[in-house]
Structure 1
Amino acid sequence: MSDDQTWVPESCTLPGGQRPLRLAEFDNLFATALLAQRRLSPTELLWLLHPAAEATTRDLIGRESSCCSLFSFTLAADTGTLRVDVQVPAEHVDVLDALALRAAARMTA
């Protein structure tokens, strides 16, 4: 998968030089902890993660929320997994699409 970041919205306040590092953090989370992904609606994505990744996930989505306000993350324990609901406004469905593709490409087997 390309590391082209053209899908990153202009509203993201994370400095450009730090974006590859943040993407690498998400890639690592997907590769090591993502068990399943479902698209609940055009604007909502569900990730089921290994519960051992809770601290890492909380930290990462907290930092992402502070620089990219278009994302809304909700984290909850869900029957032996960690559930993360990711929502975006309708005008940013393309960003959620790109994130979903990135996650699927790196998901644990």
Structure 2
Amino acid sequence: MEWVPPSCTLPTADRPLRVAEFDGLFATAVRMDRPAPGELRFAFPASPETAGIAATLAARETECCSFFTFTLTVAAGELTLAVSVDERHVEVLDALAARA
């Protein structure tokens, strides 16, 4: 996990668990796209359970890595999770995309 920036305040021992949570969420995605270098979008079938998991995970992640912006949208039976970062953290987003 060399891609984790020094600004991340999540304790080192907890990082593999958080990555596993993201892996679990991404495994349920039906589509991923990269509209810009600093943005990823994941599409999921809309369900209250998936929305709750994504929202909780996004909220917890912004507590330790404030450079992330997460946006959840539900429309036409699909849940979209947009993840964006500033240009200084594109490498982190690249690593997240590679995991997905």
- The question of a shared fold, defined as TM-score above 0.5 by the shorter chain, is answered with yes
Residue equivalent to 1:75: 72
Would you identify which runs of 4 or more consecutive aligned residues in structure 1 move more than 6 Å? none
Q: For 1:85, which of 76, 82, 92 is the aligned residue?
A: 82
TM-score (norm 1): 0.86
Q: For 2:34, which of 31, 39, 45 is the aligned residue?
A: 39
Provide structure 1 residue ranges, at least 5 long, that are not aligned to the other structure: 104-109
Residue equivalent to 1:11: 7
**Identity among equivalent pairs (%):** 48
TM-score (norm 2): 0.94
Aligned length: 98
Residue equivalent to 1:51: 46
Residue equivalent to 2:16: 20
Residue equivalent to 1:107: none
Provide structure 2 residue ranges, at least 5 long, that are not aligned to the other structure: none
Higher RCO structure, 1 or 2 (CA under 8 Å, sep 6+): 1
List per-residue Cα deviations over 1:39-72 (Å, max 9, x = no partner): 0101111111222211111111110011111100
